[in-house]
Amino acid sequence: MRAVILAGGRGTRLRPYTTTIPKPLVPIGGEKPILEIVINQLAQNGYAHITLAVNHMANIIRAFFGDGSKWGVQIDYSLEDKPLSTIGPLTLIQDLPENFLVMNGDILCDMNYKDFLIAHIASSCDVTVATYKRDAKIDFGVIRYDNNNMITEFIEKPFYHFDVSMGIYGLNRHVIEGLPKGKAYGFDELMLDGLRNKLKLAAYPFDGFWLDIGRPDDYDYCNENYDSIKDKLELIT
């Protein structure tokens, strides 16, 4: 099984941590970089070939992970000479298999990545998106009113519930083959174009443990609670 990890971002939301080191190498719990945890998990889930799509501070990431032999996997690199967003980097990879896993390099979760890719392949869908239920709090009193500007409802600091993308995708190669090579292209564009062009887009709801470490709140939570969540990540020591 093949995985592509998007590891080229500048990590601006995590400054000052990312001033001198790339975001994928930011340590978790003072023990391991985020990306090392992810690679360990993929190796445990049967992924033998991992491509790291890199850009910002790429030389540091390459020096740390090398060819992947330390983790029992083959690691190679796809280097962007300019930012290509989240999907554009895939157009530079020439040997993609028919179906493969793509994920952000700052995701921590206890998903079985093998089961995810198997489900994607079995569905015969073009794109499968792992989704997670997340609450968003509005820190204001919300006013609703009618066409005559008469207030009809007031809600104090409401919570809204959304199914959000986890930054983990199953893709069929033909989706990438139809994109211009080396052009910036984001996941949002893939979704909007896919709906417009009637691609088969599937959701893969997940209700386990998930954090987007690129968000400062999630990063701080992970560090503060690392001892209690470490076992969820099934780290190889």
> Which positions are catalytic?
157
DSSP letter at 12 equals G
Nearest Cα to 50, choosing from 26, 27, 66?
Answer: 66
Task: Evaluate whether 198 touches 19 at the Cβ level (below 8 Å).
Answer: no
Side chain identity, residue 16 = P
Q: How far apart are CA 141 and CA 155, in angstroms?
A: 6
**Short-list 104, 115, 109, CA closest to 214:** 104
Transcribe 126-194 into DSSP letters: SEEEEEEEEEEE--SEEEEE-TT--EEEEEES-EEEEEEEEEEEEEEHHHHHTSPTT----HHHHHHHH
Asked if residues 104 and 110 have their Cβ atoms less than 8 Å apart, the reply is no
